[in-house]
Amino acid sequence: MSENILEMRAITKTFPGVKALEDVSLAVRRGEIHAICGENGAGKSTLMKVLSGVYPAGTYEGEILLDGEPQRFSGIRDSEQHGVVIIHQELALIPHLSVAENIFLGNERLSVRGVVDWNRTNAEAGELLRRVGLRENPITPVGQLGVGKQQLVEIAKALSKDVRLLILDEPTAALNDDDSEHLLGLLRQLREQGITCIIISHKLGEITAVADATTIIRDGRTIETLDMRADEISQERIIRGMVGRELGDRFPERTSTPGEEVLRVEGWTVRHPVQDRLVVDDASFTVRAGEVVGIAGLMGAGRTELAMSVFGRSYGKYVSGKLYLHGQEVQARSVQEAIAHRMAYATEDRKTFGLNLIDDIRGNVSAAGLRKLSRRGWVNRHEEVKVAEESRRSMRIKAPGVMSVVGGLSGGNQQKVVLSKWVYTDPDVLILDEPTRGIDVGAKVEIYTIINKLVAAGKAVVVISSELPELLGVCDRIYTLAEGRTTGELPARGASQERLMQLMTQEKDTAR
Amino acid sequence: MSHTTAPDPGTARSDAGASTGQQGGGAGSRGPLAHLQALTGNLRQSGIFLAFVAIVALFAVATDGVLLSPTNVTNLVLQYSYILVLAIGMVIVIIAGHIDLSVGSVVALTGAVSAVVVIQGGAPWPVGVAAALAVGIAVGAWHGFWVAQVGIPAFIVTLAGMLLFRGLTLRVLDNVSLSPFPDGYSAIASGFINGLLGGNGYDAFTLLVFALGVAGFAVAALRTRRTRQGYGQQVESLPLFALKIVLVAAVTMGFAWLIANSRGLPVVLIILAVLIITYALITKNTVFGRQVYALGGNLSAARLSGVNTRNINFWVFVNMGFLSGVAGVIYSSRSNSAQPNAGNMFELDAIAAAFIGGAAVTGGVGTVVGAMVGGLIMAVMSNGMQLLSIDQSTQSVVRGLVLLAAVAFDVYTKKRAGITR
Ligand SMILES: Nc1ncnc2c1ncn2[C@@H]1O[C@H](COP(=O)(O)OP(=O)(O)OP(=O)(O)O)[C@@H](O)[C@H]1O
Ligand SMILES: [Mg+2]
């Protein structure tokens, strides 16, 4: 058998109007963890979809060799039969079905023809869960698990298919540090068991920690493959390959000159929409004009819930709390009212809450600001195109034009569309929930630059992020949230990740 | 056309041909591929028009030209006008991600109320029209309440409405037909504006009205083009633009010539034209219309963008009710009576028209103009098969297959364009 489990040769894939891949080659050695890096829209996901048969043979040019044998996969099932399994960028589990049902979906354990053998299903699922280190009952509905655990269920599902080559497209994008660490540990374990992994990630720290080799893709072409074991490869080295130049400061400089207080939230308390528990419990914070305030907290600490409920009570049941804008108490009982009070909230979940994927860039950018574009209910569509065109240029959204459908953009560019939408409403307070999730290093700098521009123009910005270095890098002040309560407030300058972690994990009885 | 949530560069918006000129406005990035995309996008847009032309040609030949005879063309307009009116409302309901199964019953109910008011009560006929429209709006508000405020799926609400309003129709009419309407009322669907300017065997007035319409269209198109250029957007080349205008003008004037040679300008055609133009503009150019697309495309995202989704859903159904009322008036006027079983299965024709015309089951996609062409395809087919004396059973089979084929064609073209997931 050849040393390479996989070789992809001269892969070219075009979409109408876009050449996503051009003459890309990739060689993966047996039993290694192979990372793929590149900017948003470089073509990473597309390459993996070609490999896994999502785009079947015939829709692309080039050759795929598995164990030296040419393969022409006709679909995902075909590639899975050859032991190639992909876990997509967006989780694809069905929330109402149990863990075991999800694991064996489309691959059911049967007794007689067509009848599910529940004993086998649950027993084998339990076995797989042990392999991925997840202590959960196989009959738990997947929707009740956190994202980190769901990601593990995805891997268990892959293992159930006798995977030899596991492809993970940004598996840690939505995970916190602990969960990511666990997942990377699991990948190392799988490597011991002889499973080859291809991992796509924008978190370069992970890549330097776990990868044996890294292939860099830029603008649909292979730039280089770095051997991570032979040389000491730094993150800066990878970045240079990705963007084709030295990337200056990871967090662009900004002189902070906070002004008047713009937003004050006091004693904010919110109940879960269906369960009888408080998700936000007496939280308070303030933001001043020209200031970036961070909110740190673990998964489930109530950061998103706090932000969304403040933004027009778009989450949960409001219990109590006061909202002041420019020193005046205001009521914002609906998203419309919140927008009218010049607030904006850019969601962490762009596919579900942020974008109309079947619409074009123009329609998405204007979605929250149609009032600005219209007179007496009639939209000025020419102005709308112009606005979208300006956003596309200033945000550097990579797309053929503003009539491009948003569903066809890469993750990072979709994120920029969400930001454009809210920036166009010209808010006084802009709440950014995980603004750089799934975004490449270069685009991150761009987004930080956009944040800096906004605060320079006197806006108040709130950043919610799971990445502590990011909070420390962009914020003036940081609040910590634990179990829905604000447990601390500290200036970013001089704060450490350890101190933040300590506050984020503060138990209820020791608080205050 | 779209029947999945798949992104579709061509049809996510309602400005069918117009958007292609703007495709790839991006500086420098407009390679030959972008042109190709514009072209295929164009093809998919025109696919429905081409299908329409093909079907017309087919039946024109099969019927030895009878299909396109002045009398038949006029009849066709009269006979299917109420379906087209319903399809306007239906496509908007479908874009919003709902469905309305009750419109047939509502057509019956509104016609019945109008008949009771005018024929039994002896009120002047405009009062009957007003009553029918009011009842339609009330029915729409009823549906809107359950769908938007209570949150019950429209499928259930309108299924209930289908039974409910059929039952009420029977009640109102006491199980018997009422006829005839006074002349003024029946003129709505069978009246013509004719002979105002005279003419030699054809009606000059009809031709004049159409000529003015075409001129208006040309001027509007030219102005849009200018504005677009003024905003630095790409537009189609001048010859192509001129060709488009000339084609539209030729087809329209041909149609005008046909009806001018028959009985003149049908009143109902004027009503229809006004409705189509109004609603095409509303869906494309108003905040309301745009928000309907937004919430149909992604309800949660629309809500978080400040769209008052309850309000919009409510008004979408009120509007459907209103248009059902209009269709009820036209239908009762045309049959010159109100019957307990009027409007049976109209909902299916209206729904078929919307889907053939490119609406998506999942919402967020569809156009008023597309639905009109879809409705006309169904109309020409039914009419053509009737002219050929094909029996009812075959007609039904053919219509079912055409609906399926239209949607299948759409799915196929989309796959080929590489948008599979
Ligand atoms: N279905 C599609 N239709 C049209 N264009 C597409 C489609 N899928 C991807 N593209 C285009 O192909 C290019 C590569 O996209 P891809 O999703 O592979 O990027 P990526 O490297 O995974 O980026 P990210 O890091 O943001 O996930 C982008 O320009 C994107 O717009
Ligand atoms: Mg990707």
Q: Out of A14, A26, A46, give the residue to mutate to test ligand 1, the one with the largest number of ligand atoms within 8 Å of its CB.
A: A46
Position B273 in a domain: no
In a domain, A223, yes or no: yes
Contact pairs from chain A to chain B, CB under 8 Å: 165
Give the pLDDT confidence score for residue A62 in this predicted structure. Answer: 93
Look at chain B and report how many structural domains it folds into: 2
- Cis before B266 (ω within 30): no
* CB pair distance less than 8 Å for A352 and B25: no
Compute the nearest-CA separation of B361 from chain A (Å): 13
Question: B interface mutation test: which of A403, A420, A421 has the most B CBs within 10 A?
Answer: A403
Do residue B209 and residue B186 come from a single domain?
no
> What SS3 state is found at B240?
helix
Residues B88 and B212 reside in one and the same domain: no
Taking the CA of residue A401 and the nearest CA in chain B, the distance in Å comes to 4
Domain match, B219 and B327 both: no
Asked whether residue A79 is domain-assigned, the answer is yes
**pLDDT higher than 60, residue B270:** yes
A153 within some domain: yes
What's the pLDDT score for residue B45? Answer: 56
**pLDDT for residue A432:** 95
Is residue B285 assigned to a domain? Answer: yes
**Chain B interface includes A110 (CB < 8 A):** no
A468 and A401 share a domain? no
State the Cα–Cα distance between residues A252 and A31, nearest whole angstrom: 39
Whether B170 maps to a domain, the answer reads yes
Q: Domain for residue A408, yes or no?
A: yes
Which residues constitute the domain of residue A10?
4-243
Q: Do residue A359 and residue B304 have CB atoms under 8 angstroms apart?
A: no
**What is the band of B414 on the pLDDT scale with cuts at 50, 70, 90?**
low
Give dist(CA A412, CA A41) in Å, integer.
Answer: 7
Residue B155 shares a structural domain with residue B213: no
Mark whether A140 and A186 lie in a shared domain.
yes
Of the listed ligands, the closest to the CA of A217 is 1
Please give the Cα distance from A473 to A254 (Å, whole number): 10
Nearest CA to ligand 1 atom 7: A408
Q: What pLDDT is attached to residue A508? A: 62
ipTM of the complex: 0.80
Ligand nearest to the CA of A19: 1
- What CATH number does the domain containing A432 carry? 3.40.50.300
Residues A80, A208: one domain?
yes
Contact between residue A360 and residue A353 where contact means Cβ atoms under 8 Å apart:
no
Q: Is A354 on the interface with B (CB under 8 A)?
A: yes
Residues 44-73 of A with CB under 8 A from B: 54-55, 59
Say whether both B68 and B112 belong to one domain: yes
Cα A227 to ligand 1 centre (Å): 26
B376 pLDDT higher than 50:
yes
Chain B interface, best mutation among A86, A359, A393, A426, by max B CB count within 10 A: A359
Contact A405 B298 (CB under 8 A): no
Domain termination residue (choose one: A426, A451, A468):
A426
- A248 within a domain of the structure (yes/no): no
Which residues from chain A sit within 8 angstroms of residue B30, using beta carbons?
A: 400-401
Identify whether A251 is part of a domain. no
Place of tokens 């063309």: B73
Hey, which residues does A226 pair with through a beta bridge? A214
Do B205 and B179 belong to one domain? no
Q: Do both A224 and A273 map to the same domain?
A: no
* Whether residues B171 and B217 fall in one domain: no
Q: What is the end-to-end Cα distance of chain B in Å, rounded?
A: 15
Same domain, A126 and A214: yes
Which of A426, A458, A491 is a domain's end point? Answer: A426
Task: Look at residues A243, A269, A304 and tell me which one is the last residue of a structural domain.
Answer: A243
What tens digit of pLDDT does each residue of B164-211 get? 999 999 999 999 999 899 999 999 988 888 777 766 667 888 889 999
Task: Please provide the DSSP assignment of B16-71 as one string.
Answer: HHHHHTTTT-SSS---HHHHHHHHHHHHHHHHHHHHHHHHHHHHHHHTTTGGGSHH
- Residues making up chain B, counted from first to last: 421
Sort out which chain B residues have CB atoms less than 8 A from A404's CB and list them: 9
pLDDT at B27 over 50: no
A352: nearest CB among B19, B36, B300: B300
A20 touches chain B (CB under 8 A): no
Q: How far is B387 from chain A (nearest CA, A)?
A: 42
For A:412-471, CB contacts with B below 8 A are 421
CB B304 to CB A338 under 8 A?
no
Question: Are B178 and B207 members of one domain?
Answer: no
What gap in Å lies between CA A53 and CA A71, rounded to an integer?
A: 10
Residue A398, pLDDT score: 85
User: Residue A352: its chain B contacts at CB < 8 A?
Assistant: 298, 300-301
Q: Whose CA is nearest to atom 8 of ligand 1?
A: A408
Q: What parts of chain A have a pLDDT lower than 70?
A: 1-2, 246-247, 508-512
Residue B100 in any domain: the answer is yes
Whether residues B148 and B78 share a domain: the answer is yes
Residues A205 and A102 in one domain: yes
Residue of A nearest to B284 (CA): A379
> Are residues A181 and A60 both part of a single domain?
yes
Q: What is the CB < 6 Å shell around ligand 1?
A: A 15, 18, 20, 38, 40-46, 89, 398, 408-412, 440; B 419
Q: Where are the beta strands (DSSP E) in A52-176?
A: 61-66, 69-71, 84-87, 165-169
Write the DSSP string, A310-373.
HTTT-SSEEEEEEEEETTEE----SHHHHHHTTEEEE-S-IIIII--TTSBHHHHHTTTTTTTT
Residue B2 included in any domain: no
Is B71 inside any structural domain?
Answer: yes
Say whether both A138 and A228 belong to one domain.
yes
Q: Which of A353, A356, A378 lies nearest to residue B294, judging by beta carbons? A: A356
Does B186 map to a domain? yes
Chain A, residues 355-414, CB within 8 A of chain B, namely 355-360, 363, 366-368, 370-371, 374, 377-379, 381-383, 385-386, 389, 392, 399-408
Determine the pLDDT at residue A300: 79
Give the model's pLDDT for residue A509.
55
**What is the Å distance from ligand 2's center to A410 Cα?**
6
Give the pLDDT score at B34.
45
How many residues are listed for chain A in this entry? 512
Residues B298 and B217 in one domain: no
Mark whether B217 and B185 lie in a shared domain. no
Domain match, A370 and A507 both: no
Same domain flag for A97 and A210: yes
Quick check: is B272 in a domain? no
Please give the average per-residue pLDDT across B320-337, as a whole number: 96
- How far apart, in whole angstroms, are the C-alpha atoms of residue A409 and residue A348? 17
The structure tokens listed for A332 are 């914002």
Same domain, A11 and A124: yes
Best residue among A405, A409, A414 to mutate for probing ligand 1's pocket (most ligand atoms within 8 Å of CB) is A409
Nearest by CB to A405, from B9, B22, B360: name it: B9
Q: Which residues in chain A have their CB less than 8 angstroms from residue B2's CB?
A: 358
Q: Strand, coil or helix: what is A262?
A: strand
Residue whose CA lies nearest to ligand 1 atom number 29: A41
Q: Residue B343 in contact with residue B126, Cβ under 8 Å?
A: no
In CATH, what number is assigned to the domain containing residue B71?
A: 1.10.3470
Query: In whole angstroms, how far apart are CA A77 and each of A80, A86, A170, A488, B401?
Result: 5, 11, 22, 50, 31
Name the domain count of chain A: 3
Same domain, residue pair B216 and B165 = no
Q: How confident is the model over B350-374, as a mean pLDDT?
A: 90
Q: Where are the beta strands (DSSP E) in B215-330?
A: 265-266
Do residues A16 and A127 share a domain? yes
Ligand that lies nearest to the alpha carbon of residue A39, given by its number in the listed order: 1
Question: Which residues span the domain enclosing B312?
Answer: 12-194+279-417
Looking at the domain assignment, is residue A253 inside a domain?
no
